[in-house]
Amino acid sequence: MKQNFSKSWISSKQPRKQRKYRANAPLHIRSKMLSSNLSKELRTRHGFRSIRIRKGDQVLVKRGSERKKTGIITHIDSKKLKIYIDSIKGKKANQQEIQIPIDPSNVMIIRLNIDDKKRFKIKREKTRVEKIK
């Protein structure tokens, strides 16, 4: 287990290798880990089931203590693979408000940030190639 990264770790049942896979994953694989499901309305409109989360997307929390809360993504931590939502905050012992990190798999996108037109163009091209194969 002295290697930096190997694709074979994802198929392992051992939790230590699964943790190592997530911790040492390169950026192009980390990007896939930061994706989330779309709402049913967005699925039918855009033609795909999930997409990488972006700052400015509006999401609905589906799991955890903050369930059923909505908010806009303010920050994405690629190193920790967590997202931060503006309306979900906690308090420290000194009463200072902080944002609570949430895993992207526990949220559903209900409104997309459409500032970047290439975001959908790239996704559509990938889905077309997958359908042809």
Residue 86 has pLDDT above 90, yes or no: yes
pLDDT at 3: 77
Mean pLDDT for the stretch of residues 44-52: 90
Residue 115 has pLDDT above 90, yes or no: no
Write down the number of H helices and E strands in the chain. 4, 7
- DSSP summary character for residue 17: H
Residue 121 has pLDDT above 80, yes or no: no
What is the CATH architecture of 36-125? Roll (2.30)
Side chain identity at residue 27, one-letter code: L
First and final CA of the chain: distance in angstroms?
35
Give backbone dihedrals phi and psi of 23, rounded to 5 degrees, phi first. Answer: -70, -35
How does strand 107-111 pair with strand 35-38?
Answer: parallel
Mean pLDDT for the stretch of residues 46-70: 94
For the whole prediction, is pTM greater than 0.75? yes
pLDDT at 126: 67
- Mean of per-residue pLDDT scores for the chain: 89
Residue 63 has pLDDT above 60, yes or no: yes
